[in-house]
Structure 1
Amino acid sequence: MRATTPTLDEIRGWPATVGVPEAARAIGVSKSHLYEMVKRGESPVTVLSFGARHRVVTASLLRLLQAA
């Protein structure tokens, strides 16, 4: 079963940062694709990296989606 894309209102209720899988679902790409973009420094959203862990800044995600 495929997860549904969250609405902007749902994303507004998210914490300040979210994991890459949640952010990928919100922007409509696979989590592996977003991880690759992060690795290449080409992520369309702000990502905070803590060693091998990555967190996406929710405000950045909202800006991207509202501009679309």
Structure 2
Amino acid sequence: MDTDLLRQRLIDLREEKNLSQSELARQIGMDNTAISKIESRTRKVSAEELNLFSEFYDVST
């Protein structure tokens, strides 16, 4: 998947649930800074993290 498309999809999913980055981080057990960097394209999403997002949002990878 294109990294820009993935980044935008993660942002859209988070916003659909009306979650801030810090609220999402707390709920899935990630660091808030990691989510911020993923969404701003300064850090890639690992396969483990992608699965974590997928499970949390109940979407396919």
Larger Rg: 1
Which category of TM-score, normalised to the shorter sequence, fits these structures?
Answer: 0.3 to 0.5
Structure with larger RCO (C-alpha < 8 A, sep 6+): 1
Using structure 1 for the length normalisation, give the TM-score: 0.38
- Structure 1 or 2: more helix by fraction: 2
- Structure 1 or 2: more strand by fraction: 1
